[in-house]
Amino acid sequence: MNSILRFLKIAQCPNCTGELIEYDKGVSCKFCKTDFLKNDDGILLFSPRTTKEKELDKYEKIEYVDKYTGLWAFGYKVFGFGQIESLHRTVNQLVLASAFSNKPINILDVGCGVGRATSDCAKYLPNSFVLGVDLSETKLKMAKKIIFGIDEIPLDLCSSGFGKKVLKGLCLQNAFLIQASAEQLPLTPDTFDIVINVNLIDRVKNPEKAIKNMISVLKPGGVFILSNPLNWQSAEFWNMLPTKEKLEAFFMNNGLEIEESFDGIIYREILDARGSYQDWTTIVIKAIKSG
Ligand SMILES: C[S@@+](CC[C@H](N)C(=O)[O-])C[C@H]1O[C@@H](n2cnc3c(N)ncnc32)[C@H](O)[C@@H]1O
């Protein structure tokens, strides 16, 4: 089955929960007739944003996305940097330990960015179907080249002193990418075996809604894996969810049982060729959906 058909089996209209069907320009809801169009890169847009909204988002800027890809998400491939690998490899270990066998499973990576965790899941679990969701079309364009491509992808890292570099596409097939918001996922409840979100929840406008949505699409008994520095963008959430313990309490009140959690993984973002960097103290939680 091709990837869009696999996606449509687990998708629903974000407005009315109706069934989605494919047509030449994108997908359409059978019930409310809303169309969700593909962009020029062939990515389905469920939460399309205005030009102004995109201009205000650093994750839509190509220079930032090149830097994100070359220095952070895939820095281990481009330069051999290991500074953020402790976090990514911890997440990978929790995913692999949750997959148990080679049986086909559905994995959701919300806030997938340029596709680091999505591609790791697809590569290490070839029988899985991995759906990557992000708000940024620029990041998804890069993710698409990395995950599905076979060519060399040019990265311009001149502004941080590293010059021009390339990253090779991974040529994976068992993944699919969509543009949508964590706050309004076009997905059927109780569908995914594993839901991961790496450094997403402190970036979204409404983290509570995003977390509830991610839990709702997880199957009962499914595994929720989160990493985050809790570097909230508003005072409201610094007050509401300032610690791992408060976040765990929120999860438990929303149907998750905490299996493992720890704080203090250092996620080190290299900033330039002089050796400047920024450290984030990151928590990791693995939880199971009750029921
Ligand atoms: C810090 S980056 C993490 C990216 C990726 N998980 C990684 O670890 O490389 C946060 C990502 O969340 C995305 N994002 C922000 N708000 C979002 C939302 N409401 N729904 C989906 N993605 C969102 C951004 O576009 C960005 O790609």
* Per-residue pLDDT tens over the stretch 71-107: 999 999 999 999 999 999 999 999 999 997 778 999 9
Strand order in the sheet with 35-37: 20-23, 26-29, 35-37
The minimum-distance atom of ligand 1 relative to the CA of 197 is 6
**Rg for the chain, CA atoms, rounded:** 18
Q: Is 230 in the pocket of ligand 1 (CB under 6 A)?
A: no
- In CATH terms, the superfamily for domain 42-289 is Vaccinia Virus protein VP39 (3.40.50.150)
Distance CA 50, CA 257 (A): 39
Tokens of 41: 């890169």
For residue 143 and ligand 1, the question of a CB distance below 6 A is answered with: no
Q: Is 188 helix (H, G, I), strand (E, B) or coil?
A: coil
- Residue 13 is predicted with a pLDDT of 98
Residue nearest to atom 27 of ligand 1 (CA): 113
CA of 136 to the centre of ligand 1 (A): 8
Contact present, 205 and 183 (Cβ < 8 Å): yes
* pLDDT number for residue 107: 98
59 pocket-lining for ligand 1 (C-beta < 6 Å)? yes
70 has pLDDT over 90: yes
- pLDDT mean over 160-175: 98
**Where are the domains positioned within the chain?**
42-289
CB 259 within 8 A of CB 219: no
The pLDDT value given to residue 84: 97
What average pLDDT score do residues 241-245 get? 94
The rounded Å distance from CA 142 to ligand 1 centre is 13
pTM value? 0.98
Which one, of 260, 272, 224, lies nearest residue 108 by Cα?
Answer: 224
Bigger pLDDT: 115 vs 1: 115
Q: Are 129 and 107 in contact (CB under 8 A)?
A: yes
User: Which ligand 1 atom sits closest to the C-alpha of 204?
Assistant: 16
